[in-house]
Amino acid sequence: MLTRRTVLRSLPAVAALPHAIYGHAAASKSSMRLLIGTGTGQKSTSKGIYAADWNPATGEVGEITLVAEADSPTWLALSPKAPHVYTVAESHASMVFAYDIKHDAKGAITLTRINDQSSRGGGPTHISVNHDGKSAFVANYGGGSLTSYKILPDGSLSEPVSHFQTTPVDDAPEHAKPHIHESTPTPDGRHLLVNDLGSDRIWIYTIDPDTAVLTPATQPFWQGRNKSGPRHMTFHPNNRWVYSVNELDSTIDHLLWDAKAGTLTTIGNFVSTLNPDFPRNTAFASEVLTSPDGRFVYAGNRRDETIAMFTVDPKSGDITLAQVIAHGGVTARHVTLDPSGKFLLVACQDSGAVVVMGRDTATGKLSNPLHTYPLGSPQCLVFTT
């Protein structure tokens, strides 16, 4: 399987049962469920996409069950308009897949594959769906390219309708190849912002709402700092402030999105995601997210193996580091909040576990890990009904 980062340290993954894995305590029946994308290559014991009941009162995860065998479905994206989920196959196959989400007689999730398409690039690492549910976008990390698809009425993916190959910006080792890692539709769905850690840029495209065809915007890109490595981003609920996490130097840039002009500009100083005593340029920050109320920002750190929490200034949007806490696993590939906001979940890729941490919704601060559930190479966590 194509990888994005040489594993700096690794623990053996906990052996998984062929079809089900049990946590420390079963979650009570609820209408909320957790879907988990995994890596299936190398030493991983996982076989595809998994699902489990989620207990919003206790933060417990129920029986983790294989619901679709798939080749390294390392990123999942739900349709906001229909019961469909889309995933990449981050492997030599370089494919993307569409699934129909259904429930059996007992209410358990089942996934049925609708169709698949080529990602048209090496190492697809991320897929996003526009807010109207009519288009999807794939970031090919290994090939440094971006592909768009129209989503058809039955939920299937069309053949690719746009494909852009980015190019290196100079001869520096960090810039030898473009590495697109994420594509994010803007809140109004009219533009696509594309993080490229190989060029230290965020590319900007306009989206045709009818065809899903992409066109470079008038401002074709935002230029980041040298060797920072823009990886992922999150919008503040006001739809203007953007926080972009940088993998290479473990920082967050505060940006301003102008929806009318289609421009992205820097408005604040960059902030480290690490404890002050941890060496810079060695931790490889992974994920960034904003709390639903817009008061807090969270970031995952790999190698340092921590979660950073920031407070947001309500007037300027500037963020201030308020907490750095260990999550107890190895390689925090993905971090997300549950729908209640009371829990933060971490997909620990190299220790083979999903970790649940408590969260104080008033202060934003996180607790030490509450629950840990073994699963081979978990890499993406999404909640659905």
Q: How do the pLDDT tens digits run along the chain, 385 residues long?
A: 334 443 333 333 333 333 333 233 344 456 799 999 999 987 899 999 999 999 999 999 999 999 999 999 999 999 999 999 999 999 878 999 999 999 998 889 999 999 999 999 999 999 999 999 999 999 999 989 999 999 999 999 999 999 999 877 766 666 678 899 999 999 999 999 999 999 999 999 999 999 999 999 999 999 999 999 999 999 999 999 999 999 999 999 999 999 999 999 999 889 999 988 887 777 899 999 999 999 999 999 999 999 999 999 999 999 999 999 999 999 999 999 999 999 999 999 999 999 999 999 999 999 999 999 999 999 999 999 9
Query: Measuring CA to CA, which residue among 358, 355, 378, 376 is closest to residue 366?
Result: 358
**222 near 276, Cβ under 8 Å?**
no
CATH superfamily of 21-384: YVTN repeat-like/Quinoprotein amine dehydrogenase (2.130.10.10)
**81 near 58, Cβ under 8 Å?**
no
Which H helix or E strand runs over 129?
A: strand 124-129
Question: What is the secondary structure of 272-290 as a DSSP string?
Answer: E-S-TTSPTTSS-EEEEEE
Neighbouring CB atoms inside 10 A of 107's CB total 11
Q: Which two tokens stand for residue 112?
A: 């049925």
Q: From the CA atom positions of the chain, what is the Rg in Å? A: 19
Q: What is the pLDDT of residue 172?
A: 66
Neighbouring CB atoms inside 10 A of 320's CB total 10
Q: Say which residue the tokens 């009570």 belong to.
A: 28
**293 near 237, Cβ under 8 Å?**
yes
- Measure the CA–CA gap between 214 and 186, rounded to whole angstroms: 13
Q: Using CB atoms within 10 A of its CB, is residue 218 exposed (0-12), middle (13-18) or buried (19+)?
A: exposed
- Measure the CA–CA gap between 265 and 256, rounded to whole angstroms: 5
Supply the pTM of this predicted model: 0.91
Q: Which two tokens stand for residue 196?
A: 């490229």
Side-by-side strand order, sheet with 296-301: 285-290, 296-301, 306-312, 319-326
Q: Which two tokens stand for residue 40?
A: 């299936």
**130 near 189, Cβ under 8 Å?**
yes
Q: Which residues pair with 124 in a beta bridge?
A: 140
Q: What is the pLDDT of residue 18?
A: 30
